[in-house]
Amino acid sequence: MNERRGAETQRRREEQFKRNLLRLSLRLCVSAPLRSFLLALLLLSLTPMLGCDRTERATTADANDADASMPAASTKSEVSRTKPRVVFLGDSLTAGYGVERDEAYPAIVTAMLKLEGLEMDAINAGQSGDTTAGGLRRLDWQLKQKPDIIVIGLGGNDGLRGVDQRDSEENLRQIIMKSRAAGAEVLLLGMMIPPNYGPEYTKQFQEIYPKLAKELNVPLVPFLLQNVGGEAKYNQRDGIHPTPEGHKIVAKNVEPHLRDLLRALPPKP
């Protein structure tokens, strides 16, 4: 009985997948590389372990990496600071899934800004598979590090799971407001998702980021993976997570916005 039910469920998923592919070809008016990127997200979202979870559980080392930033952050908090502290609160894209920690975009942005004379105490608080709800739960711990700036790169996993976009929006709103209340400036990183839950859901999801940026007056990177999403040479085999070269481009998307925030901070005493 259970085997028959499983087979029927799989058949329905395959049929839904075919319908989604047809919708993509007819409705998605984007460039071919970006279309390939969204198709890769769609393929992963139909697997038993949705979205980034499918690849992020591939090795024990990567699972342990998810929390690697926490002990380091705790140590840093005990040292007298002369540089502004920046927390990158995100998912596997921030954590640097599949690449070395120093090859992920937070480390690259840090190095880029240092060359411009803007040094910072950067904390990579990326956690593979994290959602906006998970980020909100982790926020209080990160705020104990007394960050001057929080970079929020969350929401992609919400979209792949079909989380009610109103919940995602409210979680992000709470993260922004709590960060502000703790004295931190905020940089919001926008994301896109494939239309496997329908064009209306996709549109409403993508509108969350500019809506919150305008409502709460926070700077926005419109699309974190601009010029990387869908470009095979800049992505790993899963078609989603950037290669080291891809992270360099992602860093260029983030760097000018973070630079402006750093320059606007009051000097350390």
**Residues classed as catalytic:** 92, 238, 241
In the chain, pLDDT over 90 holds for what percent of residues? 63
Identify the residue whose tokens are 């809506």.
Answer: 211
pLDDT at 123: 97
If pLDDT is split at 50, 70 and 90, which confidence band does 56 have?
A: very low
Contact 81, 265 (CB under 8 A): no
Under 8 Å CB-to-CB from 174, ≥6 apart: which residues? Answer: 136
pLDDT at 218: 98
If pLDDT is split at 50, 70 and 90, which confidence band does 34 have?
A: low
pLDDT at 191: 95
pLDDT at 47: 42
Alpha-carbon span 93 to 128, nearest angstrom: 8
What domains lie within the chain, and their CATH numbers?
A: 60-264 (3.40.50.1110)
**pTM listed for this prediction:** 0.76
Q: Is 5 helix (H, G, I), strand (E, B) or coil?
A: helix
Token pair of 5, please?
């039910």
pLDDT beyond 60 at 69 = no
If pLDDT is split at 50, 70 and 90, which confidence band does 243 have?
A: very high
Alpha-carbon span 101 to 123, nearest angstrom: 11
The better pLDDT of the pair 174, 57 is held by: 174
